[in-house]
């Protein structure tokens, strides 16, 4: 038995070492040659590998054990790092192009369970009432606890017209409930623009894809064909982020040439960058500079950036840059707080590693990580955010990091009184799917306050004040101009 165990251990150790070499750990060892190889820890890993191979109740393939060991190693780092097998690597590339078959949900991992970051507007998930903060505990009949994020995404995506059943756990609802969704071709247009009234434009950025900067530039040119703008609202509420270079592009559209947009700090030289409003930081390769001929008024038009608790990552970079340069007034609620950069590192066999390699900082040196962007003017639109998860709530989230973490945002922030806990006072019935809030609609309270700000009229801090004013003769008290 001892000989058999030793043999299994040696085989396991050889397999593990081979996998590490496949994943380019040899390159890391060369770059950090001073670090000793953790031989004793590898022996422990080999021992566990061997015991599972010899004693587990059912046979387990080497491939499965190695894959799960890698997943555990990566998922133990932070909520955003992930190992991407060939299918997941392909899906990631597809998602940045904005077209795929699926449900329309941005998801992450919380405590080993799939968590909804944000439903994408005008998709099956959005129309079915899926909410930010919902936990997807089952996909069809498969529990998601412990499931790699890439596997969960793979199970939710599929051929348009096919059904999938999600079992949802929602704060404030006593029991999990099922939602049946029909997959569609999700063709997410990241930029939506319209003229609110003569002279006032509205641009909503849903997420940051490969063409976001180009689409924004086209929308701005279309506005100015109708005449000079008096004001502009840039809406990044519930925008989960996306490509870093596109965040630089959107910021660069409104900032002076070569103004600092964001800088990053990490352990490797490639992770330490200063990204400015210049062509090489948002155009890949020899592509055309689509911001070159923007109307001059774009750089000076009074602006409001609308944010909320779902504003994350790339959209926080934009809000922070425009706020620091005093180019726009940020209105809404505190943002998500994802201030880290994930780099896609290609590995062998068409696989990849999505690895957190840096924290990013606003031009003034503020770290967004686990803190978010504080708006210049707080405006509560009455939405129930009691189940809203932020970066600071996620297990193993990165700490703030160095930088001027305590720096205050520009402008005079006015905080409304805290809202009552709607989950306690008014629980939703099981499986309820209330009408979705539509950004940019006529009843959009925060957008109305953004327009008030641009016109120099009083800004009301909470929709509750408006409701109270409608039942009392007293006039609602304005809180900011």
Residues 253 and 261: their CA atoms lie apart, in Å, by: 11
Query: What is the radius of gyration, based on Cα positions, of the chain?
Result: 24
Residues 414 and 332: their CA atoms lie apart, in Å, by: 11
Q: Is 324 a catalytic residue?
A: yes
Q: Which of 324, 381, 384, 444 is catalytic?
A: 324
CA dihedral of 285, 290, 296, 302, whole degrees rounded to 10: -100
Q: Is 134 a catalytic residue?
A: no
Residues 6 or more apart whose CB falls under 8 angstroms from that of 335 comprise: 307, 308, 309, 311, 312, 315, 316, 319, 368, 372, 373
Q: Which of 53, 151, 338, 371 is catalytic?
A: 338
Residues 258 and 262: their CA atoms lie apart, in Å, by: 11
C-beta neighbour count of 217 within 10 angstroms: 21
The three-state secondary structure class of 149 is helix
Q: What six digits make up the tokens of 152?
A: 């969960």
Residue 201's φ and ψ, nearest 5 degrees, are -100, 155
Residues 407 and 62: their CA atoms lie apart, in Å, by: 51
Q: Are 46 and 12 in contact (CB under 8 A)?
A: yes
Of 113, 108, 116, 114, nearest to 134 by C-alpha is 116
Q: Which of 251, 313, 315, 340 is catalytic?
A: 313
Burial group, residue 258, by CB count within 10 angstroms (0-12, 13-18, 19+): exposed
C-beta neighbour count of 47 within 10 angstroms: 15
Residues 148 and 114: their CA atoms lie apart, in Å, by: 9
Q: Is 334 a catalytic residue?
A: no
Of 189, 192, 254, nearest to 222 by C-alpha is 192
Active site residues: 313, 324, 338
């Amino acid at each position: 038995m001892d000989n058999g165990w030793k043999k299994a251990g040696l085989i396991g150790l050889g397999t593990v070492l081979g996998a590490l070499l496949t994943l380019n750990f040899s390159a890391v060892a060369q770059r950090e040659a001073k670090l000793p190889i953790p031989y004793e820890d590898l022996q422990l890993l080999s021992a566990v590998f061997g015991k599972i191979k010899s004693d587990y109740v059912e046979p387990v393939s080497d491939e499965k054990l190695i894959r799960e060991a890698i997943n555990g190693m990566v998922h133990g780092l932070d909520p955003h790092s992930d190992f991407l097998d060939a299918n997941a690597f392909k899906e990631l590339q597809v998602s940045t192009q904005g077209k795929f078959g699926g449900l329309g949900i941005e998801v992450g991992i919380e405590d080993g369970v799939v968590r909804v970051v944000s439903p994408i507007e005008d998709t099956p998930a959005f129309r079915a009432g899926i909410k930010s903060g919902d936990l997807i505990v089952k996909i069809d009949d498969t529990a998601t606890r412990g499931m790699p994020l890439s596997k969960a995404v793979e199970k939710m995506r599929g051929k348009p017209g096919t059904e999938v059943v999600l079992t949802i756990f929602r704060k404030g609802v006593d029991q999990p409930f099922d939602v049946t969704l029909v997959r569609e071709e999700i063709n997410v247009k990241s930029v939506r623009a319209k003229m609110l009234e003569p002279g006032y434009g509205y641009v909503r950025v849903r997420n940051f894809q490969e063409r976001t900067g180009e689409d924004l530039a086209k929308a701005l040119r279309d506005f100015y064909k109708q005449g000079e703008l008096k004001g502009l609202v840039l809406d990044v509420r519930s925008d989960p982020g996306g490509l870093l270079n596109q965040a630089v592009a959107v910021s660069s559209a409104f900032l002076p040439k070569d103004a600092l947009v964001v800088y990053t700090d990490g352990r490797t030289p490639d992770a330490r960058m200063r990204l400015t409003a210049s062509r090489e930081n948002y155009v890949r390769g020899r592509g055309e500079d689509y911001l070159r001929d923007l109307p001059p008024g774009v750089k000076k038009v009074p602006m409001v950036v609308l944010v909320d608790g779902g504003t994350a990552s790339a959209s926080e970079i934009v809000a922070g840059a425009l706020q620091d340069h005093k180019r726009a007034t940020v209105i809404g609620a505190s943002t998500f707080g994802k201030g880290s950069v994930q780099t896609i590192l290609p590995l062998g066999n068409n696989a990849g590693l999505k690895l957190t390699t840096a924290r990013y900082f606003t031009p003034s040196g503020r770290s967004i990580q686990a803190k978010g962007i504080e708006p210049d003017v707080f405006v509560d639109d009455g939405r129930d955010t009691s189940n809203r998860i932020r970066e600071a709530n996620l297990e193993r989230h990165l700490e703030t990091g160095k930088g001027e973490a305590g720096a205050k945002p520009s402008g005079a922030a006015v905080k409304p009184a805290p809202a009552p806990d709607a989950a306690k006072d008014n629980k939703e019935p099981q499986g309820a799917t209330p009408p979705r809030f539509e950004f940019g609609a006529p009843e959009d309270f925060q957008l109305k306050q953004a327009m008030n700000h641009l016109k120099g009229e009083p800004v009301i801090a909470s929709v509750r004040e408006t409701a109270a004013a409608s039942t009392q003769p007293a006039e609602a008290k304005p809180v900011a101009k």
